[in-house]
Amino acid sequence: MLPTAPWPLRRFRAARGQALTLAVALALTMVATGSGLSPARASQSVLQVVVQEWNPADRAAEDAVERLGGDTARQLPIVDGFAATIPAGQLASLEGAPGVKNVTVNRSVKLTGQYGENSSVASAVYTDAVRASMAWNKGYTGDGVGVALIDTGVNASGDLAGTVVHAEDFTREQNNVDSFGHGTFVAGLIAGQGTASNGGVKGVAPGAHLVSVKIAGADGSTDLYRLLAALEWVATYKDVYGIRVVNLSLGTESNQSYLTDPLNLAVERVWNSGIAVVVAAGNQGTAPGTIAKPGDDPLVITVGSTDDHTTATNRDDTLASFSSAGPTAFDGLAKPDLVASGKSVVSTRASGSTIDTAHPEARIGNTYFKGSGTSFSAPIVAGAAALVIDRTWSLSPNQVKQRLVSTARLAAGVDRAAQGAGQLDAFAATMSSDTTAANAGVAGAQGGGGPAQFNEARYLGSSWAGSSWAGSSWAGSSWAGSQWNGSSWAGSSWAGSSWAGSSWAGSSWAGSSWAGSSWAGSSWAGSSWAGSSWAGSSWAYEPAVLGWLGTYD
C-alpha cells in the first residue's frame, strides 16, 4: 500500500538535503533480451499504441489486442488503458474492436527548448522582470511547495544542492543524471539558490523543493509512453512528496482534439488531482495554430515567451519570435494563457551534458548557461505558481490559474492571440485575494477529465515486458547536432565580451541591476566555495530504496 501519512507541508525545509528513506520502488519487470514478442510476431512490422478501454475492469480490449496478433504491455490507469504493440496492418481492426474506446499511436515527445537566439546579451533579470523578488521580500519563496519537473533529470549540485527531494528515472540510463542538460537548466529557473552568483541568479521560487521525473536521456528524445507513465507517477505520489505544481517544458504533435487525445486526459487528471500543470506553448513561431500538445488543453496553464531585453521593466518587452501562438489548431481555443521571459535567459549549467558539450559558447563562467524558448518561460510561471501556493495553501489549481492570469500585464503592441492575458506578474498573483476559479464551464477531455481512480495493484503490478521500446527509432532528428526546430545554441554573440577569464566585478550587464548583489570580491576561477567539498556528498539516490527494479526501454 502507498504511505498514508500526511506530508509535513510547512516543515520541509528542516529536512531539506537529507535523503528520504521512503521505500516507493515500483516492481516493474522487463524481459532482458529481445522484444518479448514471439519470433513470428517479431518478424512483422509493429506499431506501439496506447489503447483506451470503455471498461478497464474487464479484458475485452486486451483480448482484442491478442486476437489481432499483438501484445499488451504496461497498464496506464491514468488514461483508462494500457500500452501495447500490434501488427501494423491491424490498427483499423483494433479501433473497431469490442471494449476499445480509443487507439493512439505512440509518438515522439520533444523537450521544447530553442537555443541560441543570436542574442547579444544574456539576461538574468527575469525574477525582477516578473516581480518575483518583491514576493520574496514579503516572505514568500515557495517554502514547502513541491514542484515536479518531467524532463531530462536534474543534477542536484551547486545552485540546486539540497533542492531535489526525490528522483525517478524512466529511461534506460537508470542513473537520475541529467546527461542532456535541459532538465537542470529548467530546475534552476524554478528553484535555483544563487549559490554561485552571490544571489545574482536565482530561480523564481528558491524556497520550493523539486521532484525530478526523468523521461529522456543523453539524446533528449522520449515518447508518449514515458510521458504518460511519468504523469501517472506524479499523480500517484503527489501526497508523499508534497507536489502541488508540475512543469512540462515539452511538447508533441497530434492531429487529435484535446477531447480525445490520451495526453490531454492525463494532464487533466493530474490537474483535477490537485496539481497545477504548467506547460510550454511551443517554439514553432508566432503564426496562429502553432501551440503544441498538451499546451492545447484548456485546463492547464500554457506559457509563451517574451524578450525582456535584459531590463526589469516590462515597457520594452516584445514577443519572442519563436513563441507559439493560438488559437489551437484543432479546437480553436485561445492559447497561450500568459507569457514570461524566455529569450536568452541564464540558468544552471549541466556540465558535461550533451547541450553543454555541443555549445561551449553558451557557458557563462563555470556554473551558468543561457538558452531561449518557451521551455524556459514555463518554469518561471511554475515557480510563480509555487509562490502563490506558499501564501495561500488551500488554493485549487483553478484558483492558482485565475490569480496568475487575472494579474498578468498586457504587453503593448503584442497580439492577444500570442500573449493571452499578458505578462506574468508573480508579485501581484502572490498577493492577490481572488478566490475565483478559472476554467468555469470548460469541457474536460473524454467525458470530464475527472480525477483518476488509480488501482494501485493494477499500477504496481504492471509490466513493460512484451514490448520493444528500443524498436522505435526516433532518429531523423539530430539532437546532438543542436538543430532543435531550426534553432541552435551556437551562433550567439556575447557582444564581444570574453566570459572566460573575465572579471565579473564592475561589469555592466547591459543596464541590468543585480538587485544589490555584489559580484566583486568573489573569485570565480579556482575559488573554494566556503570550504565545502561537493565531492564529499553523494547526491545519488539509494538504489535499493528509490530505484526502479526494471527499465522502461
Is the pLDDT score of 142 beyond 90?
yes
**Active-site residue (options: 166, 182, 209, 309):** 182
Over residues 450-458, mean pLDDT: 42
- Cell matching residue 73: 504491455
Q: Name the β-bridge partners of 108.
A: 223
101 or 526, higher pLDDT: 101
Distance CA 379, CA 527 (A): 30
Asked if pLDDT for residue 108 goes beyond 80, the answer is yes
Q: Which pLDDT score is estimated for 255?
A: 85
Portion of the chain with pLDDT greater than 90, in percent: 60
Whether pLDDT at 523 is above 50: no
pLDDT-derived band of residue 235, with 50, 70 and 90 as boundaries? very high
Q: Is 510 or 127 the better-scoring residue by pLDDT? A: 127
Q: Which range among 185-189, 234-238, 460-464 shows the weakest confidence by mean pLDDT?
A: 460-464
What amino acid occupies position 129? A
Which residue's entry shows cell 524566455? Answer: 342
Shortest CA distance to 168 belongs to which of 553, 543, 534? 543
Task: Grade residue 520 by pLDDT with cuts at 50, 70 and 90.
Answer: very low
Q: Which residue has the higher pLDDT, 436 or 40?
A: 436
Q: Taking residues 140-167, what's their average pLDDT? A: 97
- What was the pLDDT predicted at 369? 92
> Domains of the chain: which residue ranges?
31-106+453-469, 110-438
Scanning 392-509, the segments in alpha helix (DSSP H) are 397-406, 416-419, 426-431, 445-448, 456-460
Strands 338-341, 318-319: pairing is unpaired
The values of phi and psi at residue 460, to 5°, are -70, -25
pLDDT digits over 322-339, tens only?
999 999 999 999 999 999
Q: Please spell the DSSP secondary structure of 513-546, one letter per residue.
A: --TT---TT---SS--STT--GGGS--S--HHHH
Task: Give residue 115's pLDDT band: very low, low, confident or very high (50, 70, 90).
Answer: low
For 59, counting Cβ atoms within 10 Å of its Cβ (0-12 exposed, 13-18 middle, 19+ buried), the class is middle
Spatial contact of 34 and 471, defined as CB atoms under 8 Å apart: no
pLDDT band of residue 167 (cuts 50, 70, 90) is very high
Percent of the chain's residues with pLDDT above 70: 71
How much is the pLDDT for 492?
36
Task: Report angle CA 494, 495, 496 to the nearest 5 degrees.
Answer: 90
What contacts 478, CB < 8 A, 6 or more positions away? none
- Is 375 marked active-site? yes
Q: Which CATH code fits 31-106+453-469?
A: 3.30.70.80
DSSP per residue, 324-371: --SS-TTT-----SEEEE-SSEEEE--TTSHHHHH-GGGEETTTEEEE
Cell representation of residue 455: 488501482
pLDDT at 459: 39
DSSP output for 219-285: T-EEEHHHHHHHHHHHHHSHHHHTEEEEEE-EEB--SS-TTT-HHHHHHHHHHHTT-EEEEE--SS-
Q: Which one of 80, 128, 143, 151 is the catalytic residue?
A: 151
Kindly tell me the burial class for residue 406, based on how many C-beta atoms sit within 10 Å of its own C-beta (0-12, 13-18, 19 or more).
middle
Average pLDDT, the chain: 77
Once rounded to an integer, what is the mean pLDDT over residues 217-225?
Answer: 95
Residue 58 confidence (pLDDT) above 80: yes
Break the chain down into helix, strand, coil percent, rounded to 5. Answer: 25, 20, 55
- Per-residue pLDDT at 281 exceeds 70: yes
Give residue-wise pLDDT tens across range 1-22. Answer: 333 333 433 334 333 333 332 3
151 included as an active-site residue: yes
Range 110-438: architecture per CATH: 3-Layer(aba) Sandwich (3.40)
What's the mean pLDDT in 515-532?
A: 34
Is 58 assigned a catalytic role? Answer: no
Here the contacts of 13-17 (C-beta below 8 Å, separation 24 or greater) are: 13/143, 13/144, 13/207, 16/162, 16/163, 16/165, 16/209, 17/161, 17/162
294-306 pLDDT tens trace: 999 999 999 999 9
Rounded Cα distance, 175 and 180, in Å: 13
* pTM for this entry: 0.77
Q: Which of 323, 353, 375, 468 is catalytic?
A: 375
pLDDT of residue 448: 53
- pLDDT at residue 307, rounded to an integer: 86
Cis amide prior to 39 (ω within 30 degrees): no
The pLDDT value given to residue 28: 29
